[in-house]
Amino acid sequence: MTVPLVLDIPLSQTGESKLVVGEEHTASRVGSGRVGVLATPVMINVIEAAALAAVEHLLPAGHQSLGTHLDVSHVAATPVGMQVTATVKVTAVEGRNIRFEVVARDEQDIIGAGTHERVVVNVAKFDERVQAKVRKGAV
């Protein structure tokens, strides 16, 4: 019988991640637009990094969290050279699932906000499933 995973993650646990926008982070460079400002996929990456900073150190040995859902708005442009800071706050822990409120800011504005969800997995079991998929090959 498998013992259910119990996560000891307090509600309101927070995390933060920062990035100085470089040319390589722009929409025109990553293929998500034509302008030289922070790309939405890069903003999402900074948000996910903040979620990792909030909870990874609280997970049981051999476990990690994986992003499963993101619902964010990207509402303001950030030019190259400006710093972006993403902050997250845990709002719910249900079984293996963790839900966050997320906000991304540059040095002048809120540039994005929304929610993010992650699931906690046993790394060895997860890798077994991935390797089985690799062995099965593409259909």
- The single residue of 25, 26, 63, 74 carrying the catalytic annotation is 74
Give residue 134's Cα distance to chain centre.
Answer: 25
> What is the maximum span of the chain, computed from C-alpha positions, in angstroms?
54
Q: How far apart are CA 19 and CA 16, in angstroms?
A: 10
The residue from 40, 85, 91, 115 that is catalytic is 40
Q: Is 94 a catalytic residue?
A: no
48 is catalytic: yes
Which residue in 25, 48, 87, 117 is the catalytic one? Answer: 48
What is the Rg, in whole angstroms, of the alpha carbon atoms belonging to the chain?
A: 17
Extract the tokens encoding 78: 């950030």
Instruction: Look up 115 and say whether it is catalytic.
Output: no
Contacts of 19 (CB under 8 A, 6+ apart): 25, 42, 46, 83, 84
Catalytic positions are 40, 48, 74
